[in-house]
Amino acid sequence: MKNKKKVSVPLLCSIFLFNMALFLWVFSVYQIGSSGCSYSVEWQFFSLCSSDWTFSVIIDYISVIFSSFVCLISGCVSLFSVSYMESEVFMRRFMMLVMAFVGAMNMLIFIPSLITILLGWDGLGIVSFALVIYYQNKKSLAAGMLTVLVNRIGDALLILSICFLVNWGEWRIDYGMTGSFSLLICFLVVVGAMTKSAQIPFSAWLPAAMAAPTPVSALVHSSTLVTAGVYLVIRFYMTLCESQEILWFLSKVGALTLLMAGLSACFEVDLKKIIALSTLSQLGLMMFTVGIGFPLVAMFHLLTHALFKALLFLCVGSIIHSSSDTQDGRILGSLNHLLPFSSGCLVLSSVALCGMPFLSGFYSKDLILEGAFSGFNGSLETLIVLVGAGLSLVYSLRILLAGVFGQNYGSSLAGCSVESGYVVSSICILSIGAVMGGWFLQSVWVDVSGFSLVGVLGKVVIGIVTFMGLFYGFVDYFLVSIFKKKFFSGLSRFLSSMWFMGLVSGSFLAGGGLKLGKMMDLHLDLGWMEILGGQGVFGVLSDGIKTSYFMQSSSLLVQTRIIVVLLTIVLVGGLYFF
């Protein structure tokens, strides 16, 4: 009976989420698609002194399709959790946190008002902190603290932008507004979105958040928490168009994040961290796409990326769960014989990530690279984006050559278990999305007939970039020791440490910030604030009461002396001032 109760909770959650995803998809395609209109609903709570407090909801193609994808991936994660979290004692608590996370993300998706978007924005930060520290060990607590501190920076910047929005008299962000403080407001919103999407220099928290359970990682790093910043920038794009300097800044930061994460993933050995760095690389690509003026293409890539990245996480989670919680790529190997289904779907998701033609990642990635060629970008920036896009095949091949087709250096073959039916079902659903999702989205939503397509040379360059990482396969088999010693001996530590972003953002926030807080607590809260605050006021009042009591309870001679002294002070002061 106890096992049935454990299984029933995630099963009911997955069934509910699948039904919601189906309803939202049908509603978006047939209702919104047939009419071609968007709907906005507002509830007015009160109106006082010409100030209205309303709760608005926007229903359009972007919000409904994105919400259906979030519900679909969350349903697959809940179904996967039936097997992966089978030994979890508090399964209901875990699923309540997951459903709260999905609810906060949907609240963020459907709300166009910046002042009420904080409900979903803060909800994501709080629930993600609870999910990251779920195992409650030292590593999880450190990662959770780093995550929540970086997210609080974004919260503070959004609150500051709301304060400056008072000059506009409007809280909605889905249309352009100009006026005073417009450049500052756009900068605050963009930097706040960068903290949520882990752009440079706020990149340290995303690989550290891998301390969470694998189902949580699949949900957080595919379609929810890390994409919230990209989604906010896409929604705010009509206002960002008025500030081209901010878009220029966003494209440069996105390109650097793409290159940094791709190079770091090429030197990582932990499977989950490689996938986390690949997520960071794709987020940089999305930010770059928004910065060069293609927000619809960035949203298209966000949706296709959510499908194959969730599949990638679930396949790696199945491998970790079936191989006695081993996630070091140097130990795993020969998984194509031990776990053929999970390994095959891992190959499929990695190929979709690389941009193999006619899979889901190809359609959006090809449009982004065409936009980089046809836009007004610098040659160095375009080269960085092409190299960063080509590195996706390199770190995908590292996963496959080390974990799937390499030699096993771990335990005996008897240590591997077989995937359960729940794992197979969830992986099959996402595999269909990874194969057909891009084509299906392009056919029903993204109209590329008016897109400025590049010429034959550009197409050839895009194809070369897509398959450029195949060179790594030959290097790995024949020249790995010579190649590494010759080219990367001095740069390996710099490249593998995310360009020391952990020291810039991680140690600064989690180390320096906490030390500064402790120092302020000792010297301000327990020091000056006590002297000048509560304890000091209490001491002054106590001494005054004692003096007054002494004056009132003493003899006539003492009171006469006090009066004489006070009169002398008054006379001397009067003569001095007058």
- Closest residue by Cα to residue 217 from 145, 284, 274: 274
Q: What is the pLDDT along the chain (578 residues), one digit of tens a residue?
A: 345 656 777 888 888 888 888 888 887 777 676 666 777 777 777 666 666 677 778 888 888 888 888 888 888 888 888 887 777 777 888 888 888 888 888 888 888 888 888 888 888 888 888 888 888 788 788 888 888 888 888 888 888 888 887 776 667 776 666 666 778 888 888 888 888 888 888 888 888 888 788 888 888 877 788 888 888 898 888 888 877 888 888 888 888 888 888 888 877 777 888 888 888 888 888 888 888 888 888 888 888 888 888 888 888 888 887 776 677 766 776 676 777 888 888 888 888 888 777 788 788 887 888 777 776 666 777 788 888 787 888 888 877 777 777 666 655 554 556 677 788 888 888 888 888 887 777 776 665 444 455 556 666 766 676 666 666 655 655 555 555 555 555 566 666 666 666 666 655 555 566 677 677 777 666 666 666 666 777 777 777 777 777 666 666 666 777 777 778 888 887 776 66
Distance CA 286, CA 261 (A): 13
Distance CA 358, CA 352 (A): 9
Residue 422 · residue 80 · CB < 8 Å: yes
Q: How far is CA 535 from CA 517, 527, 528, 546, in A?
A: 21, 10, 10, 16
Give the tokens for residue 478. Answer: 């024949």
Distance CA 393, CA 349 (A): 12
The residue with tokens 């071609």 is 36
DSSP-assigned beta bridge partners for residue 39: 59
Burial of 370 (0-12, 13-18, 19+ CB in 10 A): buried
Distance CA 390, CA 443 (A): 26
pTM above 0.85? no
* Cα torsion 415, 421, 424, 426: sign: negative
The type of residue at 414 is A
Give me the helices (H) in 266-339, please: 271-291, 295-322, 335-338
- Closest residue by Cα to residue 69 from 300, 280, 348: 300
- Closest residue by Cα to residue 191 from 162, 223, 220, 154: 154
How far the first Cα of the chain sits from its last, in Å, is 93
pLDDT score, position 533 = 67
Give me the helices (H) in 27-90, please: 33-35, 61-84
Residue 124 · residue 169 · CB < 8 Å: no
Residue 402 · residue 324 · CB < 8 Å: no
At a CB cut-off of 8 Å and minimum separation 6, what does 358 contact?
439
**Cis check: omega of the bond before 201, within 30 degrees of 0:** yes
Distance CA 230, CA 250 (A): 11
Residue 313 · residue 218 · CB < 8 Å: yes
Distance CA 311, CA 365 (A): 18
Residue 419 · residue 318 · CB < 8 Å: yes
pLDDT score, position 2 = 47
Cα dihedral 330/336/340/342 (nearest 10): 30
